Structure formats: C-alpha cells, structure tokens
Amino acid sequence: MTEAADLVKDTTTANFRQDVLAESMKQPVLVDFWAPWCGPCKQLAPVIEKVVRASKGKVKLVKMNIDEHPQVAGQLGVQSIPAVFAFDRGQPVDGFMGNLPESQIKGFIERLIGPLGADSAALLAEAKAMLEAHDAAGAAERFAALLAEDSENPEALGGLARAYILAGTLDQARRILETVPEGKRGHAAIAGAIAALDLAEQAAAFGDVGDLRRKVEANPADHQARFDLALALNAHNRREDAVDQLIAILRKDRAWNDEAARKQLLQFFDAWGPMDEATLYGRRQLSATLFA
C-alpha cells in the first residue's frame, strides 16, 4: 500500500508527464492548480489532502503552482483557481473549480474510485449483495475497490470474476482468474468462480430446453440427452430442475460416463455456493440417492 506521505506532492511543468500522466496509469491522479495569493486555494488544500490520504492509495494528489508553472493550466483552459482536474489512464476525466466542502470533495473522488473509508467486511458484503441482486456493474466496482487494497484477496478476485460472468464478459472473467496466485486457487471463492465460468462457457453450446426435454421424454434411457438438459436448465437458472435431471441419471446408472452426473452436481454446487437453496436441495437429493 502506498504510504500516506507519497499521496500528495508538488510538481512542475517538466515533471507533469511523469507525476500525472504516467502515474495515472496506476490509479487516478488529482491535479490541484493553485497560487500563493489565492485564499480559497489555501482553504481547499488541507481538506482535499485529508480526503486523498483517506483513500489509502486509491488516488493521488499533485499540486501545481500556476504562478511558477502556468503552461499546463493554460493548456487545460484554467481561468480561475482553485481548479482541480482528475486524470485517469493519462486523460483528464473530471474536475471542479472553487473551494468545495469536504462532503462534495469526497463525492467527487468516490465517482472515480468507489466508496471511501468503507470497512472491508462491509464492502465485501455489499458487493456480494449486489451480485445476488444481479447488479454486475455495482458489484464489480466494489470488488475492484477491495482489490485496490489487496490485489490477491481471493473473495474479491472470485467476486469480480463472477460479476464479469453475470455481465456476459467471459473473457474478462477468465483473465481475472488467470491472475490468481497458485496458492489461492483452491479457495472456495476462486473454485466457485472457475466452476461458474466453465458452466457459462458451456451454455453457448446447449440446445433448446424444449427440444432436449422432448428427446429425454422420447427415450428416458438417453443419459447424454438428460445430462445436456441439466446443463441447459442450469443455464436458464432452473437449478433444482437441473439437479433432478442429474439425480435421475444417478438413480439409473451411477457409474455412467465415469460418474459424470455426480461430478456435474459437485460443479453446480461449487458454482452456486454452499448456502444457495439449490445447493442445499441438491446435496439432500444426492445424499438420499447415494446412501439409499
């Protein structure tokens, strides 16, 4: 994590490219254009510095004295100060002029990086709730905020991957999971996200649920058709129905296709999570079938 002393610095015209443009490729950088004679600048400075330091490295502040270094301010069209510009990935993306109260400065920064000063546990709970509510964008924003604090947090990595899966951006989910350190790939959140991604990638190959169901009804012994039906049902979020199809295979032929039905159930459980109602239902059905 960046030390608080490194979050606020002065810059010059010569150093602007490195201090702002290059640095904003890592996290957003605020540029505060000020001058020694400017009263509102002196009022703004301690407040914006306080809020930036509270971000704990998610954003940095660079201060530029326009009396000594007027060129950049002129290029950006600054006509009054204090003026604050937010740079992200080398480009100005937002800004404000004048001396704002702390609450508005905090809101300005939160638009760039997400909630400030939130407890990690509370932020994780909020992210998970958004995922359950199918708010992929909101969940992704909060999981990303957690990763800004701890880039190897398995709950946040798995959650962010699930948010991308929910949004249908499977390539991004795969890239996130590929960054997981080897020692954390066995974590339940990571294993669940991997299982969910595998299921999502399979979904594109499924046939129509109605066609598959008619195929099974025409030949109940066609275990492959029933297996495909279970996958298709899960892709349509009909989880308990998917469980029932796999249980039907187990009851007829437990060893079919190297226990494919049992293994698929376990993958469903990983993808759905241990406390999902369909997981609990499936485990009851599996136990009743295996130990009958």
Asked if residue 82 has a cis previous peptide bond (ω within 30° of 0), the answer is yes
CATH of the domain at 281: 1.25.40.10
How far, in Å, CA of 126 to CA of 130, rounded?
Answer: 6
127 and 180 share a domain?
Answer: yes
Confirm if 137 and 162 have CB atoms less than 8 A apart.
no
81 and 109 share a domain?
Answer: yes
pLDDT tens for each residue of the chain, 292 residues long: 344 458 899 999 999 999 999 999 989 999 999 999 999 999 999 999 988 988 878 899 999 999 999 999 999 888 899 999 999 988 998 899 999 988 899 889 888 887 665 567 778 888 999 998 889 998 998 898 888 777 888 999 999 999 999 898 999 999 999 989 888 888 889 999 999 998 888 776 676 788 899 999 999 999 999 999 999 898 888 999 999 999 999 999 999 999 999 999 999 998 888 888 999 999 999 999 988 6
How far, in Å, CA of 204 to CA of 102, rounded?
Answer: 49
Q: 179 is in which domain, residue-wise?
A: 120-203
How far, in Å, CA of 108 to CA of 86, rounded?
Answer: 9
Among residues 18, 31, 24, 22, which one has the least CA distance to residue 75?
31
Name the active-site residue from 20, 30, 38, 124. Answer: 38
88 and 124 share a domain?
Answer: no
Residue where one domain finishes, among candidates 93, 113, 133: 113
Burial of 79: CB neighbours in 10 Å, binned 0-12, 13-18, 19+: exposed
Helices (runs of H) and strands (runs of E) counted in the chain: 14, 5
Confirm if 150 and 183 have CB atoms less than 8 A apart.
no
233 and 219 share a domain?
Answer: yes
Name the active-site residue from 30, 31, 41, 61. Answer: 41
How far, in Å, CA of 281 to CA of 62, rounded?
Answer: 56
pTM: 0.52
pLDDT of residue 152: 86
How far, in Å, CA of 12 to CA of 6, rounded?
Answer: 16
pLDDT of residue 122: 79
Confirm if 226 and 248 have CB atoms less than 8 A apart.
yes
pLDDT of residue 114: 74
pLDDT of residue 207: 64
Q: Is residue 38 annotated as part of the catalytic site, yes or no?
A: yes
Q: Is residue 117 annotated as part of the catalytic site, yes or no?
A: no
Among residues 241, 177, 192, which one has the least CA distance to residue 212?
241
160 and 233 share a domain?
Answer: no
**Number of Cβ atoms within 10 Å of the Cβ of 192:** 21
Give, as one character, the DSSP assignment of residue 23. G
Integer CA distances (angstroms), 166 to 201, 248, 263, 277, in order: 12, 29, 23, 19
158 and 109 share a domain?
Answer: no
How many domains is the chain partitioned into structurally? 3
Residue where one domain finishes, among candidates 203, 232, 260: 203
What lies within 8 Å, CB to CB, of 19 at 6+ separation is 9, 11, 29, 62
180 and 229 share a domain?
Answer: no
223 and 197 share a domain?
Answer: no
Burial of 270: CB neighbours in 10 Å, binned 0-12, 13-18, 19+: buried
How far, in Å, CA of 111 to CA of 147, rounded?
Answer: 17
pLDDT of residue 292: 67
109 and 124 share a domain?
Answer: no
191 and 214 share a domain?
Answer: no
160 and 222 share a domain?
Answer: no
99 and 18 share a domain?
Answer: yes
Residue where one domain finishes, among candidates 203, 234, 264: 203
